[in-house]
Amino acid sequence: MTNRKIQTENKNCQFTPPAHVLKCYLCKQSIINYWFNEAKWNESKPKRKRGRRGGKLVKLRRRQYNAPVLRVILANVQSLYNKTGELFSRIANLRDYSDCNVFCLTETWLTSDHPDCILQPPGFTIYRHDRDRQITGKSQGGGVCFLINKKWCTDVRVISQATTPDMEHIMIKCRPFYLPQDFSSVTLTAVYIHPRADTNIAVEGLREIISICENSDPNTLSIVAGDFNQVNLRSSMPEFKQYVTCPTRENKTLDHCYCKVKNVYKSISQASIGNSDHSTILLIPVYKQRFKQQKPVKRTIKVWSQETTEELQDCFADTDWDLFNEDNDLHSFTDTVTAYINFCHDVCIPTKTVTQYPNNKPWCDKVIKAKIKAKDEAYRTKTTDPDLYHRAKSDLRKAQREPRRIALSKSFRPLTRERYGPTSRQLLNIKG
């Protein structure tokens, strides 16, 4: 029989008990230690919160580059060339900067001596407009630029860029990889208006530029951002909403972001880049697509079939129509016959209540829904019968092709003389 030693708190005090006493002691001691540690662990550990983290910024980070509208960082950098190191470091180490879709930077203070290759961070493309010394008469300051994330968009086109004595701007149009059906494109305008500028001339020139762009593409998402100083676009363009609500320089809000769409952004103030006296503004998208804003609608429809059609025809065939014309009055005869037809229609044709969702496609009818259901059923047997699944996919694709083409042609058909009203037609005839 082997003996073991049990050490107490006093290391010098040791004894060797018999084996059966040792076994009983170890069992009781392990139970006591287990319950003591378990109770102490439960008291120290906080209660676990169920669910997922909420908040606009957390949800935006999950979607990354597939947000409903673009994520923008607005900053007055006051010399971009001197702050490229800090900007590159933020993009490399901070997720809010690396996942940002667009950087709108003002007062870049760039000249032709600064090439693009040393200014654009990895994964971004720069579109800039430097100050023209001959027009403004100033050798330093000014300048605006955009940094576009290549993971968000690569189809970018410069629409307008100009320098006037009162304003500097650059306007670009983007067609990103992901964009909701509410918008056809995204138009971005970076603006810098210096403190001594004539506000009326600057606002009038900016309003003319924006109206020309919106007339050419009415469904575009137009965003105007930059350093406006004392200028406020709401006075001349009340349809635009200003989304920068936090102060950007001391207790003043000099950097603005305007958009026509309601409830698009929420602004968060962050530390300035380098020694700039303007805070960096992070614009978080809070926009909801139209189909998410609308609620499902329940409609009552008539269910037509061959049997109901024949029943309605028999009802009309067995009707004595001369009974409705006893007074020989055309108006009363018309009203009576119309009411009788509606009565027969309601009696013979059964109804059904359907739920219409905002994201329903106009070309998705019951035939296509049956094809989708057949495709889902074939997918479950894909391992045993792969040919059935491929045939179901092909049938669904062929069934969607023609209805979709017809629906799109009705929505986007060009204006012709037949589609004009009588007044417009007369004007066209006068014009020749």
Residue at 50 is within a domain: no
- Least confident range from 39-48, 52-61, 340-349: namely 39-48
81 lies in the same domain as 185: yes
277 lies in the same domain as 306: no
143 lies in the same domain as 203: yes
As a three-state string, the secondary structure of 286-302 is CCCCHHHHCCCEEEEEE
Question: Residue 112 carries which DSSP code?
Answer: T
* pLDDT score, position 89: 94
* pLDDT score, position 11: 44
166 lies in the same domain as 258: yes
Question: Residue 32 carries which DSSP code?
Answer: H
Instruction: Place 167 in a pLDDT band, splitting at 50, 70 and 90.
Output: very high
Q: What are phi and psi of 170, to 5 degrees?
A: -145, 135
Statement: the pTM of the whole predicted model exceeds 0.85: no
CA distances from 104 to 68, 283, 342, 425 (A): 19, 11, 62, 46
28 lies in the same domain as 129: no
pLDDT (average), residues 53-79: 81
* pLDDT score, position 258: 95
- Least confident range from 6-10, 210-214, 393-397: namely 6-10
Residue at 187 is within a domain: yes
63 lies in the same domain as 144: yes
Nearest Cα residue to 6 out of 35, 26, 28:
26
Instruction: Place 55 in a pLDDT band, splitting at 50, 70 and 90.
Output: confident
The larger pLDDT score, comparing residue 186 to residue 16, is at 186
332 lies in the same domain as 378: no
Residue at 24 is within a domain: yes
- Least confident range from 110-119, 253-262, 287-296: namely 287-296
Residue at 301 is within a domain: yes
Percentage above 90 pLDDT, the chain: 40
Q: What is the CATH number of the domain that holds 125?
A: 3.60.10.10
246 lies in the same domain as 171: yes
366 lies in the same domain as 278: no
Residue at 321 is within a domain: yes
* pLDDT score, position 279: 94
- Supply the range of the domain harboring residue 302: 295-358
120 lies in the same domain as 65: yes
Question: Residue 249 carries which DSSP code?
Answer: B
38 lies in the same domain as 169: no
In the chain, the number of structural domains is 4
- Least confident range from 36-40, 129-133, 383-387: namely 36-40
Final residue before a domain boundary, out of 340, 358, 376: 358
